[in-house]
Amino acid sequence: MKSINSQGDDLAQNFVQFSLDCGVLKFGEFKTKAGRISPYFFNAGLFNDGQKLGKLAQFYAERILTSGLEFDMIFGPAYKGIPLGAAVSVELARLGKIVPFAYNRKEIKDHGEGGQIVGAELEGRVLIIDDVISAGTAVRESINLINAAGAQPYAIAIALDRQERATFVEEGKVVDSAHSAVDYVRLELGLKVSTISLLEDLLAFLRTSKDPKLSQHLKNVQIYRDQYGPRS
């Protein structure tokens, strides 16, 4: 299924600026889960007040509505996907698209209403909302939950595609994939993927920035992209 490319448009560039303004996007030296030293870090947890979260939901909603995705409901995987999915569903409703919303618990509840899914019943074509995709593990968990409910895992919307090779643990060893995590989700798991911005958008932003404090990071980010970008 075709990935929905966001590279080079105003929405993506505005999102990079917004992420910088909120302190969500930072430059320096950061160790990733894969053990790589990244020259930048994206921490969506710092969209941490109502104004920032509301604006973030606007970026998601605009990308989703212009993407051509045809979905019946939203699913927010625990934990980061829960507030993201809720905020996006509210923004979509404000724009005239009202869809059911659900999320999962990490632990199955054995009292009250019970179960693992909270909110609407999972049915139809399900759009998953999350911040980024790392190794695709969390996506597979969401797919399993959605399939178990008899619904269709249809697509995932994320804020940033880091466009770097995914790593997987197989038989206790870390394996470096030839594909990016997003491409793995698209090609191997069969989901459509919508992203607000790509690493290429960040590079384009740095190339055109007139702020030397920002443009100085271009070289290191490009080197990282060349070193860890997908091979195919």
- Report the catalytic residues: 109, 111
Among 107, 106, 89, CA closest to 98: 89
Contact 34, 223 (CB under 8 A): no
